[in-house]
């Protein structure tokens, strides 16, 4: 059976992304391998250190910039993170200075909110109701 081992989010600055994703969001750095000017930089959930890794991937490919800008312009999150309580996580992140472009919205079985990750992406959080 297949399972997700790695997912990526394109970032405009790996050092800034590392700080935001670890110090603000609370992920834990898993891998940090130099690859020339970039790094193989992954983070994981603090509660699942052997779980799915998120690669903080440089957005240097020419197709990535227009793609990211189009998603942001249309208000489309690049990815979604699961949380137990979207309202509580919204308050925790907002108090840490995270800028939300969509406050929590009850969508029936889940509540979602969307924030700017400071690296060129909109990210959704979703928690079951």
Give tens-digit pLDDT for 66-92: 999 999 999 999 999 999 999 999 999
Residue 20 pLDDT grade (very low, low, confident, very high; cuts 50, 70, 90): very high
Q: What residues does 6 pair with on adjacent strands?
A: 53
Residue 104 pLDDT grade (very low, low, confident, very high; cuts 50, 70, 90): very high
- Which regions of the chain does DSSP assign to beta strands (E)? 6-11, 28-35, 38-44, 53-58, 79-82, 100-106, 110-116, 122-128
Average pLDDT, the chain: 97
Residue with tokens 């990211």: 68
Percentage of the chain modeled with pLDDT above 70: 100
Instruction: For residue 2, give both structure tokens.
Output: 């297949």
Domains of the chain: 6-128 (3.10.180.10)
What's the average model confidence in pLDDT over 36-47?
Answer: 97
Sequence-ordered list of residues with C-beta below 8 angstroms from that of 60, at least 6 positions apart, any chain: 38
Please tell me the pTM assigned to this model.
0.95
What is the sign, positive or negative, of the torsion defined by CA atoms of 3, 21, 76, 9?
negative
What's the average model confidence in pLDDT over 60-71?
Answer: 98
Say if CB 77 and CB 123 are below 8 A apart: yes
What's the average model confidence in pLDDT over 5-34?
Answer: 98
| Rounded distance between C-alpha atoms, residue 41 and residue 14, angstroms | 8
């Amino acid at each position: 059976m297949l399972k997700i081992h790695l997912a990526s989010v394109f970032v405009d600055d790996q050092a800034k992304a590392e700080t935001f994703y670890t110090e603000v969001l609370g992920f834990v750095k898993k891998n940090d391998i130099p690859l020339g000017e970039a790094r193989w930089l992954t983070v994981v959930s603090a509660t699942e250190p052997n779980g799915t890794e998120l690669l903080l991937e440089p957005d240097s490919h020419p197709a990535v910039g227009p793609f990211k800008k189009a998603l942001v312009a249309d208000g489309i999150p690049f990815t979604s993170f699961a949380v137990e309580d979207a309202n509580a996580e919204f308050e925790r992140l907002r108090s840490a200075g995270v800028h939300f472009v969509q406050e929590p919205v009850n969508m029936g079985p889940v509540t979602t909110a969307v924030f700017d990750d400071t690296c060129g992406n909109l990210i959704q959080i979703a928690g079951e109701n």
